Amino acid sequence: MIIRIVAGGPEQELPEFHINNTDETEWIGVDRGALYLLDRGITPSKAFGDFDSVSPSEWKRISDLVSDHVQFPSEKDETDLEIALNYAISQNPDAIELYGVTGGRLDHFFGAVTLLMKEELRGGPSVTIIDRQNRINIYNPGRVVINAEKNIKYYSFFAMNEKVEGLTLQGFKYPLEDYLLKSGSSRCVSNELNDKKGVFSFDSGILMVVRSIDGGMSR
């Protein structure tokens, strides 16, 4: 099962949603993200948030149409997105996708990126941040095969802790062998695949991989 969480970031950053009724997918709206889903003909199974970004009439629409909605106070220890992500993790899905978390306020964006580092996700479902131009994932040590995807051109690699050791990139325009990637380095920004697939591997650390294109991205 895939759980797709849509938050209330700038709507223009959302990719096009293609709904396949054969998919085992659960949609969750976070704050204004619930409206984004309703406007696209998708009724989320749950809606979380303080809903301080919606008007009284918009809140009524959400509460009338989403049978399972939970309104939290604006003053709390977790963001609305983290509350929704914690629920998603508890359902043991195969994957979690986050939309509506880029663009707009940078504190919200960095908050979403740090959620990818949650301890509960170590060895758990993959979590991907997706917008019109980018996909962001966090990886633990190991070996990963990347297959070329339509429209994706650039692949960037960042150390999310002090250092990533033994980083090897094969099948890329700029290959690496057993490289020490330190936090704060831009050495691995905007790489490209040479052919239909590439492989990256590393021995220790936490690696963030950003897949990007120059124009808008549809899903």
* Any domain includes 218: no
Q: Which residues contact 30 (CB under 8 A, 6 or more apart)?
A: 5, 6, 7, 8, 47, 48, 49, 80, 81, 84, 100
d(CA 116, CA 67): 28
113 and 55 co-located in one domain: yes
119 and 145 co-located in one domain: no
Q: Quick one: average pLDDT of 155-163?
A: 96
Given a cut of 70, is residue 216 above it in pLDDT?
Answer: no
d(CA 88, CA 120): 11
* 184-208: pLDDT as tens digits: 999 999 999 998 999 999 999 999 9
Looking at 84, 99, 132, the residue that finishes a domain is: 132
Q: How does 165-185 read in b/e, with b if 16+ C-beta sit within 10 Å? A: bbbebebbeeebeebebeeee
Residue 176, domain extent: 139-212
* Any domain includes 63: yes
Q: How large a percentage of the chain has pLDDT more than 70?
A: 96
23 and 71 co-located in one domain: yes
Q: Which residues pair with 164 in a beta bridge?
A: 181
Measured CA angle at 120 (ends 166, 53), to 5 deg: 110
d(CA 172, CA 15): 27
103 and 26 co-located in one domain: yes
**How many structural domains are present in the chain?**
2
79 and 98 co-located in one domain: yes
* Any domain includes 206: yes
* 43-99: pLDDT as tens digits: 999 999 999 899 999 999 999 999 999 888 888 889 999 999 999 999 999 999 999
Global pTM exceeds 0.85: yes
CATH number, position 206: 3.40.50.10240
84 and 170 co-located in one domain: no
